[in-house]
Amino acid sequence: MSTLVVFHAHPDDEAIATGGTMAKAAAAGHRVVLVVATRGERGEVADGYLEPGEALWQRRVEETHAAAAVLGVSRVEFLGYVDSGMMGTPENDDPASFWQADVEEAARRLADILEEERADVVTAYDENGVYGHPDHVQVHRVGVRAARLAGTPKVYLSTVDNDYVRAAMAEAVASGVEMPGDIDPANFDVGVPAERITTTVEVGDLVDLKRKAMACHGSQISESSFFLAMDPDMFKVAFGQEWYILVDAPPGTVETDVFAGC
């Protein structure tokens, strides 16, 4: 059996982007380790959701462990950086933020975990952080560098198949589904073109588990949110595949498993 380390920016990113891959790996007997760069301090939360005196980061740490248990994760680690907020906001300038972290130093923190775990596979994000969030971009930089430092054999960049998602959204709109006001299928600029994808992991049979893990992050993903309010068929279309780019993949690489060749 092999060890998979998934590296994410904030609590809930893991359930949304790689939850199916994690659950599939754990079910197959692989060791799954989740590393999160920040505790999600800058997230938004509804008034009255937190207990008196409870900080958002405390709740998000609890939610991460709950989701990890659902997905079969063996170990959860936080690197200890502060959430940087959205790109272009004042929070980006916080010296303690992940965006301001020295890449080499942060990579060394992650590399120590990769070496301790003798990781066979590590995931980060694509070079744009999937959608441009500063912490996601930094996950790309730090994750790729850490893998080099640790000598981790396989490095995957978690991403989104932009062509697939645009087509799925257009079909949904045509069938009468109303998208959230800030989502325009015609100008959906998330992820990468399909031609860049090397690895598509089918997780349709695990979407119920993935949905349960997402629901663990109730401070950020409420039951009435667009994601969790989807009917089961639409949710499976939206979340039944997870996409990756294998770093340094030979031309023409097409995979369905991040453990291929391990």
Average pLDDT over residues 78-104: 96
Question: pLDDT tier at 58 (50, 70, 90 boundaries)?
Answer: very high
Distance between CA 158 and CA 17 in Å, rounded? 7
Q: What is the pLDDT of residues 108-156, one digit of tens each?
A: 999 999 999 999 999 999 999 999 999 999 999 999 999 999 999 999 9
Distance between CA 201 and CA 81 in Å, rounded? 30
List % helix, strand, coil for the chain (3-state, nearest 5): 45, 20, 40
Distance between CA 209 and CA 215 in Å, rounded? 10
The proportion of the chain whose per-residue pLDDT surpasses 90, expressed as a percent, equals 86
pLDDT at 10: 98
- Size (the chain), residues: 262
Tell me the Ramachandran region of residue 101: left when phi exceeds 0, alpha when psi lies from -120 to 50, beta otherwise.
beta
Residue 25 and residue 208 in contact, taking contact as beta carbons nearer than 8 Å: no
Average pLDDT over residues 9-38: 98
CA distances from 165 to 97, 199, 254 (A): 31, 16, 19
Domain 3-246 has CATH 3.40.50.10320: yes
**Cross-strand bridge partners of residue 157:** 124, 245
Question: pLDDT tier at 173 (50, 70, 90 boundaries)?
Answer: confident
The residues spanned by each domain of the chain are: 3-246
pLDDT at 182: 66
pLDDT at 187: 77
Average pLDDT over residues 235-249: 96
**Cross-strand bridge partners of residue 241:** 202
Residue 114 and residue 103 in contact, taking contact as beta carbons nearer than 8 Å: no
**Cross-strand bridge partners of residue 97:** 82
pLDDT at 181: 67
This prediction has a pTM of 0.95
Structure tokens at 92: 């980006």
